[in-house]
Structures are given as C-alpha cells and as structure tokens.
Amino acid sequence: MKKFLMLLMLTVFAAGMVACGSDNNENNNGNENNQEEQNNDNNAVDENGNQNGNENGNEDAADNENATNDNGDEADAGDAADNEGFQEFISLLEDEGMDVEVQPGNEDVTDYTDSIDLIVNEEDMLTVEVYEMEADSENLQHAKENGEVEVVFEGMEGELPAKAKGNYVFLLAEGHPDLDAIEDIIENDFDGE
C-alpha cells in the first residue's frame, strides 16, 4: 500500500513538472519571437534603403540633452566642448596623466544649468559628476558652506557630500583610486569661474 501511494505521488509530481515545463517553454518561445520583432522594428529600412536603427534610443538621448532643470529652464546635459569650466577641469585631470571619458550629465542636483559625468581612469562605477550652477544659486551656497548639495533622485529629496568651487559643484565617488588627486585639483588648480 505504501509503495502504491508513493508511486501515485511521484506520478502526480512528474505530471506537474511536465505541465509546468511546457508552459515555460511556450512563454520563452513567445518572448524570443517578441524580441525578434522588436529588433526587426528597430532595424527597419526605409524606402530609400537607409537603416533606421534604434529610433527610440536616439529620441531619448535627444530628450536628455534638452532636459529642463527644476526652475523650468532648459538645462544642457553635458556638452563639455561649449563649457570653459568643464574643459578646464578635464584638461587639469589629463595634465595629471588621467584618462578622462566624458558622458552626458545627470539631473540629480537641483538648480544646475549644465552637467557632465566623467569616467576617470576607466572607473565607470565611480564617476565624477560635475554641475555648473548659477552664481546666486542657494544650492551652490549651501554646498560651499556645508559641503553638501541638495539632490532629487527618483522623486526623493536629500543631500549628498559635495565639493564646490566657483560656480561648479562636484560629486565625487568614495573609493575612487584617484580621489585624493581629483580633490587636490579642485581645491588648488581649478578656477571654476
């Protein structure tokens, strides 16, 4: 009797595994088909033979470049070539032998006018965020006086440790191997006007 019940339980268990397994495969096949359709849509060719590429990604990038800051003003998200302060800071880092890659800036600091994100010496998880602020910005004054800047991230407000020099605020990632050298450049070499 015990053997019969055990055999019955194993049969029910095996049937359940087979049933669940087939549903999972059907879902995976459906996801693969949807992924292929999305890839085909993103790589569609127009009537002139031009490949469209990822149109949504390009539109998102364009939207980020013309994002608005908290004042409702249009904020430029990271065109370092047009900003003398950004160029000065990048040059100072490179003069110290650091490899610098410029990325579009974040929008976390309130009241900024321009921002860039720098990957220094390939430390892409420990970036240097640089924000240009208006000279009369309360957030800039708060950063200079308290060493903290007000940020909004995913709807949550708070303060982060920051360095401020001139009209610029720097968010430096703790643990960056070149943190001391970067702080030294900000404090002693960077004008920030």
Tens-digit pLDDT profile for residues 150-169: 998 888 999 999 999 999 99
**Domain residue ranges in the chain:** 80-188
Cα 132 from chain centre = 18
* H and E: helices and strands count for the chain: 5, 7
List the beta bridge partners of residue 89.
Answer: none
Query: How many other C-beta atoms can be found within 10 angstroms of the C-beta atom of residue 73?
Result: 11
Poorest-pLDDT segment among 2-16, 25-39, 58-72, 100-114? 58-72
Residue pLDDT, tens place only, 77-120:
445 667 889 999 999 999 999 999 999 988 888 889 999 999 99
Q: Whole-angstrom distance between the N-terminal and C-terminal Cα of the chain?
A: 89
What pLDDT score was predicted for residue 90?
Answer: 92
Please tell me which residue, 51 or 113, carries the higher pLDDT value.
Answer: 113
Long-range contacts of range 93-100, CB-CB < 8 Å, 24 or more positions apart? 93/118, 93/120, 93/182, 93/185, 96/181, 96/185, 98/178, 98/181
- Using alpha carbons only, what angle is made at residue 169 by residues 123 and 186, rounded to the nearest 5 degrees? 70
d(CA 130, CA 123): 16
Share of the chain above pLDDT 70, in %: 68
Question: Which residue, among 90, 88, 87, 65, has the nearest Cα to 76 in the 3D structure?
Answer: 65
pLDDT tier, 14 (very low <50, low <70, confident <90, very high otherwise): confident
The chain-wide mean pLDDT, for the chain, equals 75
pLDDT at 69 over 60: no
Encoded tokens for 53: 């590429």
Q: How many CA atoms lie within 13 A of 34 on its CB side?
A: 6
Encoded tokens for 119: 């990957």
pLDDT at 56 over 60: no
